[in-house]
A and B are shown apart, each in its own frame.
Chain A
Amino acid sequence: MAIRTRTVALLLGAAVVIGGGAVAGRMLFLPGPLDFAGGTRVALADYKGPSPIGVPAKLAHASLIEKGRYLTDAADCRACHTAKGGTPFAGGRPFKLPFGTLYTPNITPDKATGIGNWTDAQFLRAVHQGISADGTRLYPALPYASYALMPDADVLAIKAYLFSLQPVRQANLPNSFTFPYNQRWLMGFWGYFFNKDKRFEPIAERSPEWNRGAYLVEGPAHCGECHTPRTLAQAMNTRQKFAGGAAEGWNAYNITGDRTTGIGAWSKPEIEAYLATGHANGRSVASGPMREAVDLSFSKLTKGDIAAIATYLQTIPPIHSARLGAPAAFAAASHAQGPADNPIGKRVFEQACVSCHAWSGKGALVADAQLTAKKAVSDPTAANVALMVLQGTGPQTAGRPYMPGFARSYSDTEIAAVANYVTARFGTMPSKIAPRDVAKLRAE
C-alpha cells in the first residue's frame, strides 16, 4: 500500500518545514529498514544461497511479462492506480487531502495519457527516486522510499508487464493543491533525507527465507508505509518500526512481535492465513486498505513467499502500543449483560450486527465474524470499527459471506454509538468516538 491521505498531507507540510532547514538531526537520520537485525550486509551478487529478489523459483523460466505481473502484484501497483470501478492501472483514484485532492496517474502504456513514451531510465528514476519523466518531483504518495530497495531488474520487469497491457486513453486529473503544497521541487529535500535510494542487501547470517521475506516486506510490499508511525518530518520512524501507523483514516495496527498489541502471539500459519486470505481465525480480518492489499497483492503471492514474509515478520522486535488494549475474552451470550449506558449503540447492534456477530462476539455464522480479540475493538479511537460499519468489510471474493456498509442508512450519531458499543462490549479499551469523527471518516 502507498502512503495514504492524512500522512501525505502532513508529509507535504513537513517537507515545507524541512525546506526551512530547522530540523534536528535525529529526525533526519533514521535507522535503515534492516538495521534492527544486525549481521553482515552483503551485496546481492555476493550472497550465498537462493536470490532473495525477483520472482519465486516456479516462475524462474517464465517470460519477462509473467515475472513482471507477479512483481506488479507484489508491489500492489494496481490498488492505487485504479479508480473505483475504473480500468486497472488507468489511474484516477483520488486521495483527499485538506489542501486539495491528489489523483493517481495513468500507468498504462498509452502514449498520450499514460507512460507509453517512458524509457527504462525514466521509469527507474520514478520508482527509485520519485522523479517523473519530465523531471517533476513526485509526492511520496508513491512509496519510492520503499521501492528504492527493488533492483533494476525487478522494476523493469514491472515496466515490461505494464507495457504489455492494453493502453487506456484516460487523461490524468490535475491535483488541486494550493501554494505551497503545489511546489513539487520541495520534495527533493524530503527525498534527500528520507530516501536513501539504495537497493536491497541481504544479511549473510540470516536464512534465505528470511532474506526473501525482508525483501518483499521492505521493498515491493512496502508494509512500513502504513504500519510504521511517522516522524514529524513524516518519514517512516524506523525506531518504532511496524509499531502502527495509519492509512486513509484507518489505523494500520502494530505488527511487531509484541504479544498483546502486536502479532507476537500469532503462529506462523496464522500470519500466513491472514495474508493469503485476509482472515486468521480468532485474530483478525483484513479490512479497508489492508483488504485491498490482501485481495490485490498478498493473495496472489506463492505460498513460499507468504511463508517468507511471515518468517521475517516474526523477527520484528516487539514494541508495545500503549494506545491499544489486549484481546478480550468472549462477551456474555445475553444482551442483558454488557454496556448499559449506550442505548442507541445497543439498538443499532441488535438491528444490524447481532445476526452475524452474536451478542458474545463469537460470530454467529462464520469465524470471520468474530469480534472479540480483534485489535479494532480494543482501539480507543474506534476508527476502524466505525469505518467497517460505514464501508463494510470482508472478502470481495464472490460467494463468501461479507459485511455490507451501513453509511447510507445510519446517522453519524448512530454509527458513533454502535462503534462505542462494540468496543465497550468486546474490547478492553473503550472508545468515545464522536459523531463529528464519523462525519470525517465518512468523507474518506
Chain B
Amino acid sequence: MLELSINGEAHHADVTADVPLLWVLRDVLGMTGTKFGCGIAQCGACTVHLDGQPVRACQLPVGLVGARKITTVEGVGATPAGAAVQKAWLDLDVIQCGYCQSGQIMSAAALIASTPAPSDADIDAAMAGNICRCGTYVRIREGIKKAAAEHHA
C-alpha cells in the first residue's frame, strides 16, 4: 500500500510501483482532473507538480514519488500562483475544449511561481511541452503574463 500526499491530503493506493502516477490518480483515486493525452510525455496534459515542480504523470512510476508532495489541478487553486493562473484563464477566456488545460494550467502555475515576469522565451521554454489542439496558444501566452503580473503585484 503506497501512501501519497496529494493536494495536502494523505491518500493510499494499493498498486504496484511501476504504475504511472497518472493512472493512480485517475483510475484508482478517481481524481480525473489530470488528463491522459499521449502516455509518452509528449503532450503535457497529465502535468502535476511534485514539490512544486511540473512533471508528466504519465511517465512517472508511482513508486518513484516517495514523500514528495503532489499537487494536481484540483488543488492548484489553493496556491497563489495557481489561483492567479485560473483567474487569468477565465478573465481572458483562454479555454476552448479545455482538455489540455489542466496540464497548461499546471505548467503555467509552476512557471509564474518561479519567474516573476516571464519573457516570451521563458514561456516557450516552460510551455512548449504542452500541446493544445484547439490552438489557444495566443491566449495562454497572454494569460501567463497577466497572471504573473497579478501574482507578483
Contact = CB atoms under 8 A, between A and B. Distances in A.
B128 interface: yes
B124 A364 contact: no
**Interface size, B (range):** 10 to 19
B59 A354 contact: no
A365 B129 contact: no
B10 to A, nearest CB: 23
Interface in A298-353: 335-336, 347, 350-352
A335 B125 contact: yes
A366 interface: yes
Interface string B48-73: 00000101100111001000000000
A291 B26 CA distance: 33
Interface string B20-57: 00000000000000000000111010000000010110
A364 B40 contact: no
Contact of B60 (A350, A352, A366, A404): A366
A404 B59 CA distance: 12
Given A356-B59, A366-B60, A351 B18 contact: no
A335 B60 CA distance: 22
Contact of B56 (A350, A351, A364): A364
The interface centre, meaning the residue of A347, A355, A359 with most chain B CB atoms within 10 A of its CB, is A355
A355 B124 CA distance: 13
Max count, chain A CB within 10 A of own CB: residue among B55, B59, B61 = B59
B121 A335 contact: yes
A366 B64 contact: yes
Interface in A106-154: none
Contact of B40 (A347, A354, A399, A404): A404
Contact of A355 (B18, B56, B64, B122): B56
A350 B128 CA distance: 6
Contacts of B53: 364
A356 B43 CA distance: 12
What 5 pairs across the A-B complex have the smallest Cβ distances?
A: A335-B125, A350-B128, A355-B129, A355-B41, A351-B128
Given A335-B126, A355-B56, A365-B60, 20 more contacts: A336-B121, A347-B124, A350-B124, A350-B129, A354-B129, A355-B41, A355-B42, A355-B129, A356-B41, A356-B56, A356-B59, A364-B53, A364-B56, A365-B41, A365-B59, A366-B61, A401-B59, A401-B60, A401-B61, A404-B40
Interface of B: 18, 40-42, 44, 53, 55-56, 59-61, 64, 121-122, 124-126, 128-129
